[in-house]
Structure 1
Amino acid sequence: MAEPGIHFLDAHGPEGVRLYAIGDVHGRLDLLAAMHQRIEDEIERDLPADWRVIHLGDYVDRGPDSKGVIDFLIEARERDSRHVMLAGNHDVGFLDFLKKPDPEGLFIRFGGIQTALSYGVAISEGTSMWFGKAEAAVRKGHESLVEAVPQTHIDFLRSLRLSLTLGDFFFCHAGIRPGIALARQNPQDLMWIRDIFHNYQGLFPKIVVHGHTPVPEAEVMANRVNVDTLAWQSGMLTALVVDGPDKRILTITIKEPGTTKEA
């Protein structure tokens, strides 16, 4: 028997626990730090009985400071375990590249060059070179990157969980496959799924809060909420805030260095 579905308007967070779910960061340490400061200010002001800050994955690639983002998240979790980090496909792709340098893989093709630079390693772009030369350049960059990435960062990436359920909300990076129980979702779907999930019109057992697919502004649907607002390029990092029955969207925007807008 299928679980009954729930509509976003009827969904509640766990009693006495305020939730913040932050979308894809992609190396934008400036936005992440500003978002955390805003959250800390709200918690200090409102004094909720308890709270969780849930990061929905994709901490690395594309933006300028993936290394700094991982350092920041490690410190935040060590300071308070109520900071929870989920795995995104780019985070797993980073681990995959460290294991095996694939010149045609996710890391090299979609922003890993910038991740490597944040660790002080330059990896040549392979697209303009014949394959053998590209493969050799990537292999050389891989060797340097393996030496440059601290073990603490590898341990952090390996520790990332795939999903989290709190109250009437299910948090993951990409989404879920309709018709499959939440507890039986395929890890690949949780990190990669798009169309079949986005196009589903029915209600899910929980409201699915996700990122992975960029949108111009937070997408609030009856059955899901997408908070990936392309932070690395748009300069806007977005979070869903849930406090009992109350839900709102929180955004931090940094278009130029030294300028921060909140909403």
Structure 2
Amino acid sequence: MQTYAIGDIHGQYDLMLRAFEMIEKDRARDGAADSPVVVLGDLCDRGPKSAQVIAHLYEAQSRGENIVVIKGNHDRMFSTFLDDPWKRDPRLRPEYTWLHPRLGGPQTLASYGIREPGNRPVEQVHTEALCAVPPEHRIWARELPTSYTRDDAVFVHAGIRPGIPLEAQQEDDLVWIRGEFLTDTRDHGALIVHGHTALDESTHYGNRLNLDSSAGYGGPLSTAVIEGRKAWLLTPEGRQPLEPVLLEPMVR
């Protein structure tokens, strides 16, 4: 079996469309029209077109396309703000809110047509956001799954807590974890396909595959096809093998 996966999009709608185009070309070559596409979360924030990304994926799923969208920490912060603008994500550093420029919340709200979302009273911005974000998109984003398992791969946004059975993993870890997961070299019982930790390029570490190639910081958006525990990066020229390496990731 093969599964396609797309790394952290972060509002880069045009890059996402090109990723789906490469998937369709690969499907046409290999005849795998029924293979699912897993989007690894962080649909929104930092990039200019988060609203378009969310609408596209919502509508594609509504049409019955075989797309699985995983919840990322930025997607959770977006949903949390819409539900309660004063509620803080428990894993967010205390000096930040979702509306801090470093996190990219203002860019997401601006993509919905909200004027100067980072420079006006929070109550006003929240009221306008509830009018601007379609209710069905709001519900959809809130209810996104945090993991997806297929064949020898488990797809999550950030990673897993090592040593804990996959069925006992907690959402906070699945959408936020870094250090304990990134430095663990043991076999997790499956290839963990994830994003969240931005690298210069997608990297296969043997026990995990990181597909966050920094689209949220102006880098490319990575798209891969996974068969068992092997993976290939999709490029305009075709597949490029992602061979396991033993290097430590460069964490942004």
User: Which SS does the other structure have where 2:118 is aligned?
Assistant: coil
User: Which SS does the other structure have where 2:35 is aligned?
Assistant: strand
Aligned counterpart, 1:59: 43
Aligned counterpart, 1:89: 73
- Change beyond 3 A, Cα 1:190–1:138: same
- Say yes or no: does 1:170 pair with 2:163: no
Quick check: 62-71 or 79-88, which moved more?
Answer: 79-88
User: Which SS does the other structure have where 1:44 is aligned?
Assistant: helix
2:208 to 202, 206, 224: 224
Equivalent positions of 1:168-247 (< 5 A) are: 168-243=152-227, 246-247=230-231
State the shift of 1:245 in Å.
6.4
State the shift of 1:42 in Å.
1.7
Q: TM-score, normalised by structure 2?
A: 0.85
Number of residue pairs aligned between Structure 1 and Structure 2: 231
Aligned counterpart, 2:115: 122
In terms of fraction of residues, the more helix-rich structure is 1
Aligned counterpart, 2:98: 107
Q: Which has the higher contact order (CA 8 A, sep 6+)?
A: 1
How big is the alpha-carbon RMSD for the aligned residues of Structure 1 and Structure 2? 2.2
The CA distance in 2 between the partners of 1:203 and 1:246, in whole Å, is 14
State the shift of 1:213 in Å.
0.6
Unpaired runs of 5+ residues, structure 2, are 89-94, 241-252
- Change beyond 3 A, Cα 1:225–1:106: farther
Q: Deviations over 1:24-50 (max 9, x none)?
A: 000000000111011112212321263
State the shift of 1:262 in Å.
9.4
User: Which SS does the other structure have where 2:226 is aligned?
Assistant: strand
The percentage of counterpart residues that share the same residue type is 40
State the shift of 1:62 in Å.
0.6
Q: TM-score, normalised by structure 1?
A: 0.81
Amino acid corresponding to residue 71 of structure 1 in structure 2: A
State the shift of 1:168 in Å.
0.8
The CA distance in 2 between the partners of 1:178 and 1:245, in whole Å, is 18
Contact kept? 2:109, 2:117, Cα under 8 Å: no
User: Which SS does the other structure have where 2:37 is aligned?
Assistant: strand
The CA distance in 1 between the partners of 2:43 and 2:117, in whole Å, is 22
